[in-house]
Chain A
Amino acid sequence: MQSLGPEVVRVRYQVTPDTLGDPAIYFRVVLADWAVDRETLGEVTRKIRNVFFDQLKPIENWGLYPYFRFRSSAEHSPEPEWN
């Protein structure tokens, strides 16, 4: 988690087929509120995604394509897959 940077508060994951039915792993990433800025959000999440791709290598190691969803701490996330 440390290599993800201070922007990341929490990560949850779920191994489940993607919308095409192919093997996949979904990462749900909660960001610190201060890290969420309309102008830089795309760049911030791109860097976080690349950490998962480059360090976990889910495709090469597990044959799972990684997908990502991001929320901020301030947003209410009652769904169990986010907690």
Chain B
Amino acid sequence: MAYHDELLAQAEKLLQGDEKDLTQADLRRAVSTAYYAMFHLLIDETTLNWNRDSSRHTLGRMFEHGLMRRVSQRLVDTRAFAFPGADPVVLQKLKDVAKAFVNLQDSRHLADYHNGVIWNHIESLDEVSAAKDAFAIWATIRHEDIAQDYLVSLLIKPRD
């Protein structure tokens, strides 16, 4: 099983059982783990395109959380990208993946660092479900040109 799949499975596992028994640690770690599942999915999918096996891990270290978020936010901003000629179904799916990533990253930040934010079961479950949903959507578009272009763009600082 790929690492990102293991992380997603771990996120789901943290929320299993009686919700009354779930601690803030379970709820918050589930959110964080779901985010990292998506983070590593996108990295793995990008580095798969690099021919040299031995260099993929090094390439993977180049990814920055903040840049990935900003690139993903721009993708859904219709003022920045019109995507003329793109298949609207594929485009919507790609935007759904990008939106999920952005929301998850922000939630992960809250879950990991903001102790004043209390998480409820459904909140955490939604984040994990969103990651799982994004994984499924990604699988249907991963070979599309605009999906591959998105992956590459995660490494490139947007130009204003």
In the assembled complex, B129 has its CB within 8 A of some CB on chain A:
yes
In the assembled complex, B103 has its CB within 8 A of some CB on chain A:
yes
Contact B96 A46 (CB under 8 A): yes
Residues of B within 8 A of A53 (CB): 76, 99
Which of B36-44, B46-54, B116-124, B146-154 forms contacts with chain A? B116-124
Interface residues in B, total, Cβ within 8 A: 32
Most buried by B among A24, A36, A69: A69
Contact A69 B99 (CB under 8 A): no
A65–B76 CA distance with the chains assembled, in angstroms? 10
A79–B120 CA distance with the chains assembled, in angstroms? 12
A25–B133 CA distance with the chains assembled, in angstroms? 23
Interface of B is mostly: helix
Q: A58 → chain B, closest Cβ, in Å?
A: 10
Interface of A is mostly: mixed
- Given the known inter-chain contacts A45-B130, A50-B96, A65-B73, please indicate yes or no for A18 contacting B122, CB distance below 8 A: no
0/1 string, B42-83, CB within 8 A of A gives 1: 000000000000000000000000100110010011110000
| A36-83, CB < 8 A from B | 36, 38, 41-43, 45-46, 49-50, 53, 57, 59-60, 65, 67-72, 75, 77, 79
